[in-house]
Structures are given as C-alpha cells and as structure tokens.
Amino acid sequence: MKILVINAGSSSLKYQFMESEGGEVFAKGLCERIGIDGRLTHKVPGREDVVREIPMPTHNEAIQSVLDILVDPEKGVIASTDEIAAVGHRVLHGGAAFTESCIIDDACIEAIKKCIPLGPLHNPANLMGIEACQKIMPSTPQVAVFDTAFHMTMPPKAYIYAIPYEYYEKDDVRRYGFHGTSHRYVSARAIDMLGNPAHSRVISCHLGNGSSLAAIVDGKVMDTSMGLGPLAGFPMGTRSGDVDATILEYLMGRYNYDIKEMLNILNKKSGVLGISGVSSDFRDLDAAAAQGNERAQLALDKFIYEVKKFIGAYTTVMGGVDAIVFTAGIGENSIDLRRQICDGLEYMGIKMDAEKNNVRGKEADVSAADSKVKIFVIPTNEELMIAMDTAALCGK
C-alpha cells in the first residue's frame, strides 16, 4: 500500500511517500519556513534534488505543494493523488488516551487537542498537518501514530512520580516517554536478530540531538528515560536531562527568571551545548576535544557516564539484558561513542568487537564472540513503522 507519511512542525513539514510492505521510498522531502515565505526540497532516489521557493502562509499550502510535486509530470512519482492510499501522521503526545495508533476521526482529534497541555510545542503543529490533509484530501484515510503510545505498557511503579497522587488523578502527571516509534521499530528488529526467543530483555538506546533509553521486556516497555515531556533523562544536544528542581528555584531567584525563561534555558541552552560552550553537535565536540578543549571533553564524558548509568539501572530492573541496541544519528554513526559507552561493562557480560563496531549507518551485530549480551547497531525507521501502522488500520 502506498502511504504518505507526514511529520508536521510549527514552521516545517517533513514527508515520505513510501510502500508499507518492504519500505521502498518513492520520494521524500521537507517544506520549511511555513508562515514566512516557504521552501520545498523534494528528493527522489536516483534523481537530482528539487528545491522550489513556494509561498506557504499555512500548512494547507505546504500540503498542497507536496501533492503537486508528487504528481508533477517531470519531478513527480505518481500520475494522480488517487494513488495515495492513506496518510500517516506522527503525533507527539497521546497522553494516557492512546495506547496504539488509530484512524483519525472527530473523537481522535478532540483527544489530541486535550493533550496539547502535555505537548504544547508539538501537538498543535501535528494537528495543523492533520487538518490540512483533511481539507485537501477529504476522502483519503488518515491515521495518527503517537510517539508516546509504545511506552504505555510501563507499570505504575515506573510511570508514577513521587508527588501528591492527586496530580496524577486530576492532571495526568506521569511519565510518558518519547521516541516510542523508534524504540518500537529497533527493539522488534533486535528481538528478530536474537532469534525471536520466548523471553527477551532489550535496552534500546536512541541517541541523537534528542536522546532516550527504553527497557523493553518481551517487546513491552518496562521503563524509559524521558518523562512527562522530552526534557527528562540524560544530557542531550541542548536539553539538560534530569536536574535537581532546587536549581530552578535558585537560578530563578538569583537572576529573576520567570518559568518560561528557565525552561528555555533547560531545553535550548543546556545539555552538551551548555557544558561545552562549543556546540550541540557531537562531531564538533569530538573535534574540539581532540584539540584539547576540556569542556568539550567533559560534555562527552558526562553524556557517556549518564547513558552507562541508565544501562546499569535498566539491566537491574529487568533482571538482566539480552541485547543493547544503538540507534538514531549518534547511535548509528558514532563508532567511538558506542565503544566508550560499552567500555567497563564487561562485568555485565557486555563486550564489543572493535573491528565489527567500525560501521556507520547500517545494521550490524558488533558484539564480541564471547559477549554474553548482544550489541546491535540498528538504523531506526520511524517512517516505515508509521506506514505499516497506517496500512494495517486502513486495510481493516
């Protein structure tokens, strides 16, 4: 089934047009500067990229520009939009209402709107993408795939916060977790690579500019590092990860910050950028550290240290681990970072083969022959997961 996958942001919109069986990508691209002026970048395998300046005052024009380029006689890949069987939308926050993907109807849209306070930056943009597609493609089925849904199998002891229980009951304050579609895809591949055992314990390490870990037992999430929002966990590109809440009170009092400015600092000025003062890009940090920049090295050391702590904690709560998976931009491509994370974990049966680990961006078993725990590099494919869910629901 040919599926159009949409990931709408506040001023951008990513898309992939693909086959749900096998994952062949016919075309993909990006609409950016929505609401400013508008630019479309369109890519078809084996062809030269197309870049067009197109007025995009709203997401409606962005979606229309995507459909227009897909059917363009010279640059397109289909003769008619009728060939688009369905549209799958990435939606950040589904709250407790969504434990799986669903066909979009009025009730679904209302439930997504109710989750806006939980995902104030992303859910409104996701809704704009959905509503634009509904307006322009009213007869085409639409499916919502939630970033939080895969984590909804967590037990209460993992998702509850130790604050007054009434905030959970009345305000839905709990751990939700994110990158769920990625964790779901790579953990399923890991279980397959393990030979589909009756019992499996996988730690999925989604390491990118935004990063999270998940502890997955028999294909179901037991715990994950992000929380109510995507700020929690370990240091990321610009996000702080877990911090003592007293820091907020202290800095807000000392510098007269309001909560909005404090959260802006934690979300956009912290993480490895905040420690290093150099960059949020780990490649820049590697280069700076190699030239003797001590703060860049400290940022890398802190990141590695915190990831190791989560691996140790998750191994404990799962009663062991059968596989560790590295995925996303850093996890798939940073040979040295993977090695440093696994260094010192030999006592847990985690032993990497340095030669096998010399791989970037492709699926590989990089564990040593005598490692008791498998170490996999698995490129994530969230778009394929969205396309497969969309096809499965629309096929019904």
Determine contact, residues 123/8, Cβ cutoff 8 Å.
Answer: no
> Look-up: residue for tokens 């006689």?
73
Determine contact, residues 71/82, Cβ cutoff 8 Å.
Answer: no
Q: Reading across the β-sheet that carries 220-224, which strands appear in turn?
A: 220-224, 212-217, 201-206, 323-327, 374-377, 364-365
Per-residue pLDDT tens over the stretch 135-187: 888 999 999 999 999 999 999 999 999 999 999 999 999 999 999 999 999 99
How far apart are the C-alpha atoms of 220 and 206, rounded to whole Å?
16
Q: What is the pLDDT of residue 371?
A: 97
pTM confidence score? 0.92
Q: What is the pLDDT of residue 37?
A: 87
| 147 a catalytic residue | yes
Per-residue pLDDT tens over the stretch 344-375: 999 999 999 999 999 999 999 999 999 999 99
At residue 361, what is the residue type?
G
Question: Which of 92, 102, 98 shows the shortest CA–CA distance to 390?
Answer: 102
37, 72, 82, 147: which one is catalytic? 147
Determine contact, residues 70/78, Cβ cutoff 8 Å.
Answer: yes
Beta bridge partners of 12: 32
Task: Provide the sign of the torsion angle of the four alpha carbons 317, 230, 330, 341, taken in this order.
Answer: negative
Q: Is residue 125's pLDDT more than 90? A: no
Least confident stretch, 103-112, 119-128, 315-324, 346-355:
119-128
Least confident stretch, 23-37, 209-223, 262-276:
23-37
Rounded to whole angstroms, what are the CA distances from 119 to 21, 176, 179, 385, 387? Answer: 31, 11, 14, 21, 23
Q: Is residue 32's pLDDT more than 90? A: no
For the chain, the C-alpha Rg in angstroms (whole number) is 21
Pairing of the two strands 25-32 and 142-146: unpaired
How far apart are the C-alpha atoms of 212 and 225, rounded to whole Å?
6
